[in-house]
């Protein structure tokens, strides 16, 4: 690894770790401002994938042979790395999933179906990604529970007084995002959890947009469940994490049945494996998990606090520059934000913004960002969204600003 440990934050060295950042798109150097959708992988993570596939591939947990044992050791070693990354108490509280979406579905199924019933209330926030809405709606359709929503103001800040009022004796679960993927708002999840716990209500935190950008400690937060995706934190697709407190995971039912999640099977009766294996039916994404371990090492070598500070400064710069362009409105102006700048331009559809910027090699996202209720609340059908990672630079923000000027000229 070439980067890291260099102070001050050496973004030029960091960029050299990411081969894709050297490529051209439509004749211009790639300016990748879509890390909230999926971040890029440094060479060390790519190398780890290739190393595993080339020299180490075997199924886990099943073989006495050397390769299988090595694969198992590597795979289980990542569970420990994840535990350390998020400050969980025990390795067995870390469940590998395909991503945040699968992790939330697992809880809605494994906890919701057993412990929620007709008339019970689930509190979500107005800032949720569809992944933290739809699984709960599916549960409500089947079990007759009801979703209540914490409203937000015009800046994209949750109304905590309204949350306090929503909490009542029927509240049986709270599920909120840590950082909004559409607006960038950082929610006061510690306080949300504290208030829910006063009533003995468990809380799931969707950390998909938080884990890549800040130090997270699930024990300090006292989160009951915490979810995130590998591909948003320099790892590969197909791997994600569900953290759950051991006592909750233990009382939950498995949601998929099959190999690896059992202790014994007969046609009369099956007994389930211990946590976390009870929730990992079938062959897991072994290569992706092992590469996620390399991504975690990489992020930790740079330091999540250093990453957060650098990105904070970059977002402030981008907010100032983009916000100063006449005809541009920033959507989402919460005082606490991370890594996301959503905006609209008067008279231009966000898809046109995205298409024109792409012609200059600038990758931004345009659309509803899988958060249609957020768009509705903010009174826009869609936004253009620039999202940042620690490998982005001020020069790239300047290029975005120039690109926005081009968009305005074309539509002027």
Query: Could you give the residue numbers annotated as active site?
Result: 370
Q: Residues for the chain: how many in total?
A: 412
C-beta separation of 157 from 125 below 8 A: no
Nearer to ligand PMP, 21 or 103 (CB): 103
- Neighbour-count burial of 154, counting CB atoms closer than 10 A to its CB (0-12 exposed, 13-18 middle, 19+ buried): exposed
Cα–Cα dist 252/389, whole Å: 36
Instruction: Assess 177 for contact with ligand PMP (CB under 6 A).
Output: yes
The stretch among 61-69, 129-137, 151-159, 356-364 that binds ligand PMP (CB under 6 A) is 129-137
> Between β-strands 362-363 and 31-32, what pairing exists: parallel, antiparallel or unpaired?
parallel
Applying CB under 6 A, among 181, 185, 187, 319 the residue interacting with ligand PMP is 181
Residue in the block written with tokens 């509190």: 123
Least distance to ligand PMP, CB of residue 206, Å: 5
Picking from 155, 174, 203, 207, the residue whose alpha carbon sits closest to that of residue 319 is: 155
Distance, in Å, from the CA atom of 106 to the CA atom of 114, rounded to the nearest integer, reads 12
Q: Candidates 100, 187, 319, 342: give the one binding ligand PMP (CB under 6 A).
A: 100
**Residue 208 interacting with ligand PMP (CB under 6 A):** yes
CB atoms within 10 A of CB 401: 15
Q: 347: Cβ–Cβ under 8 A, 6 or more apart, which residues? A: 327, 411
Shortest distance (Å) from residue 6 CB to ligand PMP: 30
Query: Does 99 help bind ligand PMP (rule: CB under 6 A)?
Result: yes
DSSP secondary structure of 125-151: ETT--GGGTHHHHHHHHHH--EEEEE-
Strand order in the sheet with 340-345: 328-331, 340-345, 383-387, 365-367
Q: Output 209 or 392, the one with its CB closest to ligand PMP.
A: 209
Binding mask 356-395 for ligand PMP (x = CB under 6 A): --------------x-------------------------
Residue 131 interacting with ligand PMP (CB under 6 A) = yes
Window contacting ligand PMP (CB under 6 A); options: 93-101, 145-153, 160-168, 392-400:
93-101
Residue closer to ligand PMP, measured from CB, 127 or 275 = 127
Q: Per CB under 6 A, does 242 bind ligand PMP?
A: no
Q: Is 229 in the site for ligand PMP (CB under 6 A)?
A: yes
Tell me how far, at minimum, the Cβ of 20 lies from ligand PMP, in Å. Answer: 19
Determine contact, residues 136/147, Cβ cutoff 8 Å: yes
Report if residue 3 touches ligand PMP, rule: CB under 6 A.
Answer: no
Helix, strand, or coil (residue 236): coil
Q: Which residues contact 86 (CB under 8 A, 6 or more apart)?
A: 211, 216, 217, 218, 226, 241, 243
Of residues 81, 129, 213, 377, which one binds ligand PMP by CB under 6 A? 129
Q: Does 135 bind ligand PMP (CB under 6 A)?
A: no
Binding footprint of ligand PMP on the chain (CB under 6 A): 99-101, 129, 131-132, 177, 181, 206, 208-209, 229, 240, 370
């Amino acid at each position: 690894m070439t980067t890291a440990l260099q102070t001050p934050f050496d973004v030029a060295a960091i960029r050299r770790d990411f081969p894709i950042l050297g490529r051209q798109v439509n004749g211009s150097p790639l300016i990748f401002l879509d890390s909230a959708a999926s971040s890029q992988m440094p060479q060390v993570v790519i190398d780890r994938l290739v190393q595993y596939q080339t020299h180490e591939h075997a199924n886990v947990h099943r073989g006495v042979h050397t390769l299988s044992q090595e694969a198992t050791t590597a795979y289980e070693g990542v569970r420990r790395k994840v535990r350390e990354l998020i400050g969980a108490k025990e390795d067995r509280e870390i469940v590998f999933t395909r991503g945040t979406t699968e992790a939330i579905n697992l809880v809605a199924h494994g906890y919701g179906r057993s412990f929620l019933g007709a008339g019970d209330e689930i509190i979500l926030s107005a800032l949720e990604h569809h992944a933290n809405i739809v699984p709960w709606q599916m549960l409500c359709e089947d079990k007759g529970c009801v979703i209540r929503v914490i409203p937000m103001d015009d800046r994209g800040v949750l109304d905590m007084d309204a949350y306090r009022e929503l909490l009542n004796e029927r509240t049986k679960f709270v599920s909120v995002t840590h950082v909004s993927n559409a607006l960038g708002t950082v929610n006061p999840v510690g306080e949300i959890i504290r208030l829910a716990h006063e009533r003995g209500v468990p809380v799931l935190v969707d950390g998909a947009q938080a884990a890549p950008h800040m130090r997270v400690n699930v024990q300090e937060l006292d989160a009951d469940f915490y979810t995130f995706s590998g591909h948003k934190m320099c790892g590969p697709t197909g791997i994600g994490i569900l953290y759950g407190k051991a006592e909750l995971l233990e009382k939950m039912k498995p949601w998929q049945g099959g190999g690896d999640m059992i202790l014994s099977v007969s046609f009369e009766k099956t007994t389930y494996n211990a946590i976390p294996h009870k929730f990992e039916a079938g062959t897991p994404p072994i290569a992706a998990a092992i590469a996620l371990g390399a991504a975690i090492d990489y992020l930790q070598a740079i330091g999540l606090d250093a990453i957060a500070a650098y990105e904070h400064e970059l977002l402030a710069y981008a907010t100032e520059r983009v916000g100063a362009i006449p005809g541009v409105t920033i959507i989402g102006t919460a005082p606490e934000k991370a890594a996301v700048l959503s905006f609209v331009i008067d008279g231009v559809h966000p898809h046109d913004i995205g298409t024109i910027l792409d012609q200059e090699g600038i990758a931004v996202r345009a659309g509803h960002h899988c958060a249609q209720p957020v768009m509705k609340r903010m009174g826009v059908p869609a936004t253009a969204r620039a999202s940042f990672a620690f490998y982005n630079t001020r020069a790239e923000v300047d290029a975005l600003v120039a690109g926005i000027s081009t968009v305005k000229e074309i539509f002027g």
